[in-house]
Amino acid sequence: MKVGENMVELKEEVELKLDELSSLLGKEDTEGFRALFLDMHPYDQAVFFKEQETKDRLTIYTYLSPKEMSDIMEYIDLEETEQFITEMDPHFATMVFAEMAVDDAVDILKELTKDEVASFFAIMDKKAADEIKALLHYEEKTAGSIMTTEFVSILKTQTVKETLKEMKIKAPEAETIYYTYVLDENKRLVGVLSLRNLIIAEEDEIIENIMSENVVSVSVGRDQEEVAQMIRDYDFLALPVVDFQNHLLGIITVDDILDVMEEEASDDYSKFAALVDIDSRDSNPIQSAKKRLPWLIILLFLGMITASLIGSFEQTLEKVPIVAIFIPLIAGMAGNAGTQSLAVAVRGIAVGNYGAEKRIRLILREITTGLFVGGACGIVVVLLIYFWKGNFFLGVLVGIAILATLTVATLSGALIPLIMERLNIDPAVASGPFITTLNDITSVLIYFGMATVFMSLLL
């Protein structure tokens, strides 16, 4: 209870500060505003900053230094940064970029147009511009595109004393100092040294004698989702990025990976919903429709196949029209079961849980699950239809159809993403609507096929 009360008190305290900041901003009290604003956590600063109107944000830019502004930008969502960067004075914006971590600056610049990027580079400090350009050319969603070049590296021939002295100089500019990466005379990555081991070592000890040679690294072209998987598996705070000759190019820190995980989750969800992209900034209905239409048109044609299949059983419907009322029930149950199975399979593939043996186990488990849930739902349906319509054989028909369709649906929901993954196609493309439509086709075939065969029992 105390924790909840403390959270409420903290929230109220922050809200009071935000109200006071608004008052100081309105009074144009620069010193009072800075004193209160800089006493707050950068996250709370960002919350206040984003809530202001354009004219007030323009005032805030004049109150803060580029370094103070760069700290705030770290807590602003990437899709919102374009508006803020482009409304700043260009020279002030370039100084903000120079104060930011290189990888964060690159992420923001990738949100801008080529002309806007070129205009910033034209007035940016050459050293900062060169560091940013070095990362901008890497392909999207690779290790190179999310790494930072601000890290601490040392030579294996150095002593601990020399290293500590060097780290005092490099640490302020480094993204993290918890890991120090060790290079040989050819600048190749040969080891890693934790801050703890460095501190407790004797001053005259050679780095090569205390470093760990068992260093895990990733190639610069590695997919960012695989990098996230490695950091999760190994519990790293940072991961070195190397080229094909094992030269150290940069590092990827855990805070960058959290952004990647959010991005990949959003990307997978958009595919799961049969959308090309989910973009909160996309307020244009025409653009939004263009993104959704391709999949919907494909699903429309698949739906026409379902309609034509139902049409082919026209004679069955004429003789036993009552079977038509259970089409939505069977198709809906199959679609739901298939989507559930798909979600389990896609998540397992995404987190790397499935080797060859586990894939077979997954398929067998989903088939068994389909039989159990199908059997349970089938029994319930038999009883409901018997008490509702007084037709036992109709209940049995619908019950067996549900058993068969749910078994097939759970199997297809697990099998299709595994096949796609084997063919190097993103499994998330096997989206919920696609699986649902596919299961509609199979459920119609099973249901009407059985109704046609056992029609004499229903008359």
Question: What token pair was written down for 277?
Answer: 């992209």
The pLDDT value recorded for residue 379 is 92
Question: What token pair was written down for 315?
Answer: 């004679």
Instruction: List the domains of the chain with CATH numbers.
Output: 2-137 (1.25.60.10), 153-253 (3.10.580.10), 285-458 (1.10.357.20)
Long-range pairs for 353-360 at CB < 8 Å and ≥24 separation?
A: 354/418, 359/418
Which residues fall within 8 angstroms of residue 351, CB to CB, at 6 or more apart?
229, 232
- Cα-Cα end-to-end distance for the chain: 66
Walk along the chain (459 residues) and give the pLDDT tens digit of each residue: 454 555 666 677 778 888 888 888 888 899 999 999 999 888 889 989 998 999 999 999 999 999 999 999 988 887 788 889 999 999 999 999 988 888 888 888 888 888 888 889 889 888 888 888 888 888 888 999 889 888 999 999 999 999 999 988 888 888 888 899 999 998 899 999 999 999 999 999 999 999 999 999 999 999 888 888 888 888 888 999 999 899 999 999 888 888 777 666 656 555 555 555 555 444 567 766 666 677 677 767 777 877 787 777 777 777 777 777 888 888 788 877 887 787 777 767 666 555 566 778 888 888 898 899 889 998 998 899 888 878 888 888 888 888 988 888 888 888 887 877 777 766 655 556 667 777 788 888 888 888 887 777 766
Query: Which amino acid is present at 158?
Result: Q
Determine the Cα–Cα distance for residues 93 and 100; give it in Å rounded to an integer.
11
The pLDDT value recorded for residue 1 is 45
Rounded to 5°, the CA angle 146-147-153 comes to 175
What does the longest C-alpha to C-alpha distance in the chain come to?
A: 96
Rounded to 5°, the CA angle 175-181-186 comes to 125
Rounded to 5°, the CA angle 40-45-47 comes to 130
The pLDDT value recorded for residue 352 is 58
The pLDDT value recorded for residue 247 is 94
Query: Three-state secondary structure along the chain?
Result: CHHHHHHHHHHHHHHHHHHHHHHHHHHCCHHHHHHHHCCCCHHHHHHHHHHCCHHHHHHHHHHCCHHHHHHHHCCCCHHHHHHHHHHCCHHHHHHHHHHCCHHHHHHHHCCCCHHHHHHHHHHCCHHHHHHHHHHHCCCCCEHHHHCECCCCEEECCCEHHHHHHHHHHHHHHCCCCCEEEEECCCCEEEEEEEHHHHHHCCCCCEHHHHCECCCCCEECCCEHHHHHHHHHHHCCCEEEEECCCCEEEEEEEHHHHHHHHHHHHHHHHHHHCCCCCCCCCCCCHHHHHHHHHHHHHHHHHHHHHHHHHHHHCHHHHHHCHHHHHHHHHHHHHHHHHHHHHHHHHHHHHHCCCCCHHHHHHHHHHHHHHHHHHHHHHHHHHHHHHHHHHCCHHHHHHHHHHHHHHHHHHHHHHHHHHHHHHHCCCCHHHCCHHHHHHHHHHHHHHHHHHHHHHCHHHHC
| Backbone torsions φ then ψ of 148, nearest 5 degrees | -120, 150
Question: What token pair was written down for 231?
Answer: 């950091």
In angstroms, what CA-CA distances link 131 with 97, 106, 227, 244, 265? Answer: 11, 9, 22, 21, 29
